[in-house]
Structure 1
């Protein structure tokens, strides 16, 4: 039974940078299966343990795996996602690296005050305070997916002495070339919110190239959880809209051009949220970026759609920059 539910969870690749069956609340279904117990089993399968740390007014929930003496990777999830979006990739990394995956403030299990500032600069600064409190800020390898990519890029630009490398996967940003409605008209991001029944199916068709099969009970539970978190997700979306208005491609380029660290870029060629042209634009901005890894037939969620295609390029990249 455990193996069946593990496979069901593993098959659930969801939303815009975004959503995971792994961030389900503590509910039971299909014979009183405890979802939190399944999540813990999934993290253990990936070589991770669930931890908490209070830093200022944020109660951080995060996963940690691998040996503390090895190089540290910090993986940053996207909009409306959770640390568990990374589990499928993390299981390949924990045998060789010290891996930290936080739930961003107000997402997953990380708790914040009702008036928390969800702007990208503030999220980045709070992530730095978390890294300092957990004492892994030095010699850090940072990776980010979607909105997490924008945070990872800004983190690397702001803390260059302590950051050794950057990995960007279908990364958010303010681009000239990315020709998708979600960047041309940022208010369309509001349509990515799961606020009522039926929204999840609609978003799956946008965020993944081949929407996965999800058992009815699991999908309903996931959708209910996302609806319950829609207020926080809405605040994040509004901040992304503000970012697109405040920052131009030229000002975004200034931050990117300030980064000297080695950078790996990966993109799904069927990404409907931030299209693949952005990968080449990012490479042109970053001084030390490798040729982007373009994943054929993959949508906006490579870390859950085809994570195995990311493993060798990332491991090879890390071996070069240790």
Structure 2
């Protein structure tokens, strides 16, 4: 018995030392461990696929009833598939969920000197849908930058998109706020290069204190280092989606969206002002409008239950005959 206890103790010590060495080598390991826990809680598996000349990583929930709708979720600027996990947890078991890292972001492939703006990414998302849901239109959800991408896919490829949901979506000239003015001035308001700017980033995208993620040291060190490495890439993408001639293209082409649609915002969004909801609604008159209170830019993480209810209503909406 004493011998087994010694072995168990030694194994535990070795495991703790191993984790400690791993974190010392890669402080971002703690962040990834938290993402892994959320993924498992949401019942999601991992996958990879090649589409549009890129290697994509994605999370998938296949445990829905046969014939259930497929929902594809597209994340925003500086985001990743993990942003959708709280919402996926609310929707598990009802639908087939496909949640990719967009090319260039997260764990998906990034190529040097490649366009990752609205138009280019919308064509890549269209290819991803063709590959992952052949001959079956999907419900397409997009958040922030991903909302602008989703609007273009729904407008340009209606055969691929049965219904579309735009959450805190970019792509229209909303009421001036500090974030928008900084983007137009050539800055990256989401830029992170030290602990103070990391906290500013979190405070900008989240409204409710209780919803803000806690990122302890040394995980914060790893996240800061990653964002510093990505600074040039982020600036290049922001140049395309925030300051180029395609910055307002999603809103302009939204007039071509005929599918049932959802427009969902948070009243306290200081990134993309909630005035954008009505601007999109003018272009998509059939859309259902949902304005949530006491949440900021990350509606899908701050209010996952309310967002899930709105998504369920969207899925249940009847599709008009053409």
Give me the TM-score of the superposition, normalised by structure 1.
Answer: 0.82
> 1:282 & 1:301 partners in 2: Cα distance?
18
User: How far apart are 1:100 and its partner, in Å?
Assistant: 0.4
Which residue of 2 is the match for residue 48 of structure 1?
44
- Most deviating of 126-135 and 95-104: 126-135
Counterparts of 1:172-183 in structure 2, within 5 Å, are 172-175=170-173, 177-183=174-180
Distance 1:27 1:298, change over 3 A: farther
> 1:304 & 1:162 partners in 2: Cα distance?
27
> 2:283 & 2:163 partners in 1: Cα distance?
15
Kindly report the root-mean-square deviation, in angstroms, between the aligned alpha carbons of the 2 structures. 2.4
Tell me if 1:28 matches 2:28: no
> 1:98 & 1:111 partners in 2: Cα distance?
24
> 1:87 & 1:72 partners in 2: Cα distance?
16
Asked whether the equivalents of residues 90 and 308 of structure 2 are also in contact (C-alpha less than 8 Å), the reply is yes
Asked whether the equivalents of residues 57 and 112 of structure 1 are also in contact (C-alpha less than 8 Å), the reply is no
Tell me if 1:89 matches 2:87: yes
Which residue of 2 is the match for residue 206 of structure 1?
204
- Partner deviation per Cα, 1:22-64 (whole Å, 9 max, x = no partner): xxxx9537xx976545433321211211111123531101111
Counterparts of 1:207-246 in structure 2, within 5 Å, are 207-211=205-209, 212=212, 214-217=214-217, 218-243=219-244, 246=245
Which residue of 1 is the match for residue 129 of structure 2?
131
Distance 1:99 1:27, change over 3 A: farther
> 2:283 & 2:32 partners in 1: Cα distance?
42
User: How far apart are 1:213 and its partner, in Å?
Assistant: 5.4
> 2:302 & 2:290 partners in 1: Cα distance?
15
Counterparts of 1:1-322 in structure 2, within 5 Å, are 28=23, 36-66=32-62, 67=64, 69-136=67-134, 138-175=136-173, 177-184=174-181, 186-187=184-185, 189-211=187-209, 212=212, 214-217=214-217, 218-243=219-244, 246-247=245-246, 253-290=251-288, 292-321=289-318
Which residue of 1 is the match for residue 8 of structure 2?
none
Segments of structure 2 that go 5 or more residues without pairing to the other structure are 1-20
User: How far apart are 1:229 and its partner, in Å?
Assistant: 2.5
- Partner deviation per Cα, 1:192-241 (whole Å, 9 max, x = no partner): 22234432111122211134251422333322222232232222111123
Asked whether the equivalents of residues 107 and 232 of structure 1 are also in contact (C-alpha less than 8 Å), the reply is no
- Partner deviation per Cα, 1:124-180 (whole Å, 9 max, x = no partner): 1111112222234631110011000000000100111221111111100122x4222
Aligned residues: 290
Distance 1:27 1:305, change over 3 A: farther
Distance 1:317 1:132, change over 3 A: closer
> 2:247 & 2:107 partners in 1: Cα distance?
33
Segments of structure 1 that go 5 or more residues without pairing to the other structure are 1-25
Which residue of 2 is the match for residue 13 of structure 1?
none
Asked whether the equivalents of residues 57 and 113 of structure 1 are also in contact (C-alpha less than 8 Å), the reply is no
Instruction: Point out the structure with max Rg over C-alpha.
Output: 2
> 1:189 & 1:172 partners in 2: Cα distance?
17
- Partner deviation per Cα, 1:77-120 (whole Å, 9 max, x = no partner): 00011000000001122211011011011110001221221121
> 1:189 & 1:266 partners in 2: Cα distance?
27
Distance 1:213 1:320, change over 3 A: closer
Give me the TM-score of the superposition, normalised by structure 2.
Answer: 0.82
- Partner deviation per Cα, 1:60-83 (whole Å, 9 max, x = no partner): 011111337421100000001100
